[in-house]
Each structure stands twice: as C-alpha cells, then as structure tokens.
C-alpha cells in the first residue's frame, strides 16, 4: 500500500507541461511559411527582428491552453505601443492532411475574426517538421528578436509556468 501511495505522489508531482524537444531552446528559428484563410502568406523573414510567440495546434487542441492565450492577450494589451510593434503573436493550425481546403480556409477566416488574431495554416506540414511539434497537442514557442528560440513546450501550461512566460516576454521584449 505504501508503494502505491509513493507512486501516486510521484506521478502527481510531474509538471503538466511536457517539454517535447527542449534541445531546440537556444537554437535559431527555422524557416517556415504559413498561409491564412485569406491567402496571406507569412514566413520567418516577415517576423525578423521581432519577439514571436507561436501557438501551433491541431483543431482539436485549440482550447487546451485557453487560459495561457487569455493571459497573454491581456498581457499584450497592457504593453506600451513601442513593445507591441516589436511582438508578433502567431497562431498556426496543422492543415497538412486537409481534404477540403475551401472549408478550412473559411473556418480559419471565421476563427481569426472570433479570436481577434489571424490564424494561419501550415498547409505543407513543413513548419511542424522544422519545429518538431507534437501532433494532436498544443505547442507553444517563443523566439527573441534575434531569432533564437527561448521557450518551447507542449501540453497544458499551468499558472506558475504562465507567470514564467510573462517574465520571459517582459525581459526579451526590451532586449536590444
């Protein structure tokens, strides 16, 4: 009985966030090209010199980190304009295996309007591959103005981790 209790305590002590490929932290951001429902293309060159936050998710996982998204939206709104102009918030949905692209593009447009942020599709799957995202999960990535990946996680982000993310964003958004 004691062993079962110790095992349960050990399991509960693991963090909710799973760092799927933390060896990416400290490396340079990889080239990517994503396209919105309005056929707007965005790639790595478009975000050079900016702090970039990326949510990369499948359609079934977009609610997994709703609290993190809400907190980061509030945090972004509170920032001075000088900081906002140097931050890119990027939402990407895996669209690689989409059969009816017209319906998906329409859904991307509708959800972009609902969320107040352009949602892009990774139509080729190359971004997922380049960033080693975990399929069927919520992936969150931050890179700084120099294109260095500073944060990478998959899974649900807890309150303590949200605080750490905000602190990191404060720090890197003011770095030269």
29-81 per-position pLDDT tens digit: 999 999 999 999 999 999 999 999 999 998 789 899 999 999 999 999 999 99
The CATH code of domain 16-174 reads: 3.40.30.10
What is the rounded distance in angstroms from the CA atom of residue 71 to the CA atom of residue 134?
A: 23
What is the rounded distance in angstroms from the CA atom of residue 112 to the CA atom of residue 37?
A: 9
125-152 per-position pLDDT tens digit: 999 999 999 989 999 999 999 999 999 9
pLDDT at 4 (0 to 100): 39
Cβ contact 31:44 at 8 Å: yes
Whole-model pTM: value is 0.84
Q: Dihedral (C-alpha) 47, 151, 145, 24: value to the nearest 10 degrees?
A: -80
Question: DSSP readout, 23-81?
Answer: GGTTSBPPP-EEEETT--EEEGGGGTTSEEEEEEE-GGGTTTTHHHHHHHHHHHHHS-H
User: And the tokens for 84?
Assistant: 């906002």
Look up residue 22 and give its DSSP letter: G
Between 16-20, 78-82, 96-100, 121-125, the lowest mean confidence (pLDDT) is in: 16-20
């Amino acid at each position: 009985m004691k062993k079962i209790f110790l095992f349960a305590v050990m399991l509960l002590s693991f963090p909710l966030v799973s760092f799927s490929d933390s060896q990416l932290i400290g490396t340079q951001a990889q080239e990517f090209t994503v396209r919105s429902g309005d056929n707007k293309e965005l790639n790595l060159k478009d975000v050079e010199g900016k702090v970039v936050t990326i949510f990369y998710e499948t359609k079934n996982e977009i609610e997994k980190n709703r609290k993190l998204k809400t907190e980061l939206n509030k945090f972004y709104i509170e920032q001075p304009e000088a900081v906002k102009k140097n931050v890119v918030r990027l939402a990407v949905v895996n669209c690689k295996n989409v059969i009816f692209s017209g319906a998906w593009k329409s859904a991307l447009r509708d959800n972009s309007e609902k969320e107040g942020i352009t949602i892009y599709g990774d139509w080729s799957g190359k971004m997922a591959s380049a960033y080693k995202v975990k399929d069927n999960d919520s992936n969150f990535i931050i890179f700084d103005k120099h294109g260095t990946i500073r944060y990478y996680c998959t899974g649900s982000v807890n309150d303590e981790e949200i605080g750490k993310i905000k602190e990191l964003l404060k720090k890197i958004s003011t770095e030269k």
